[in-house]
Amino acid sequence: MRLFFTLLGTLVCFAVSAQKKLDHKFSFGMNYVVGSSENRNYDSWSEAIEDDYLSLKFDYVASFKLNQFIAVGPGVGIRHLISLDETSSDRSVNTNVFGYSSNTISNYFAIPVFVNFNARFIDKKVSPFLSVSTGYSFALNDSDIELYDINSGGRDNYTSKIKSGFIANAQAGANVRFRNGMNISAGPYFEFQPTSIVRTSDAGSRWTSDKVKRNLYHIGLQVGFAF
């Protein structure tokens, strides 16, 4: 019994000590996303749409402080990408969507899982910092898009999906540390995601599917707090 209480006391002391070194970090951001591909064919319906996006992001990191300057830890997040451009009637696409416009936009959701490294450069109340993460992004949904012909009223539909894959990001900025242990950080943010967009179309008896390799570059501002 004495051994049991000794071990229990040791575990409690260890948990308290670890808790003092563990920060719960939450961050929010809004980014402009540029999509680029090599050897694109602008006469193909599968490649002539969705170049740019607006991205909303949320991340949580369980950050373990190695010392007053360095912290590392696992993280998980949410990404919501909203397409800013879809196929339109003035786009020269000589395929089954030529002359069509879209009354809907692509929406994609993903959950990235990653490891984060964070460095403060000076041990002061206000300090510059650098944060780097790398991991894997899990795509969650297909986006259903409806196309319509503004002249004849005919309609067509396709689905679009961003594939899961590698993701990496970096942020630099300023970190403000308060006496109650809370930290607030803010600064510019960059994220890189090499991926593919898979589009399928069912036009009556004709079914087509295309996959386009696409590099996504997220550029924006991120604000976070930790306690």
pLDDT at residue 147, as a whole number: 64
pLDDT at 151 over 50: yes
Q: What CA–CA distances, in Å, run from 54 to 6, 171, 187?
A: 55, 18, 18
Segment 166-216, tens digit of pLDDT: 999 999 999 999 987 789 999 999 999 999 888 787 655 566 777 788 889
Q: What CA–CA distances, in Å, run from 222 to 27, 62, 103, 111, 175?
A: 7, 17, 31, 17, 12
- What residue ranges define each of the domains in the chain, with the CATH number in brackets? 22-226 (2.40.160.20)
Highest mean pLDDT out of 66-80, 132-146, 153-167: 66-80
Model confidence at 107, pLDDT cuts 50, 70, 90, reads: confident
Instruction: Name the residue among 174, 189, 185 with its Cα closest to residue 132.
Output: 189
Q: Are 171 and 114 in contact (CB under 8 A)?
A: no
Mean pLDDT (whole number) for 156-160: 75
* Cα–Cα distance measured from residue 31 to residue 84, given in angstroms and rounded to the nearest whole number: 12
Percent of the chain with pLDDT over 90: 43
Q: Is the pTM of this model over 0.85?
A: no
Q: Between 58 and 3, where is the model more confident?
A: 58
Q: Are 105 and 87 in contact (CB under 8 A)?
A: no
Mean pLDDT (whole number) for 115-133: 95
Find where tokens 């943010």 sit. 189
pLDDT at residue 187, as a whole number: 97
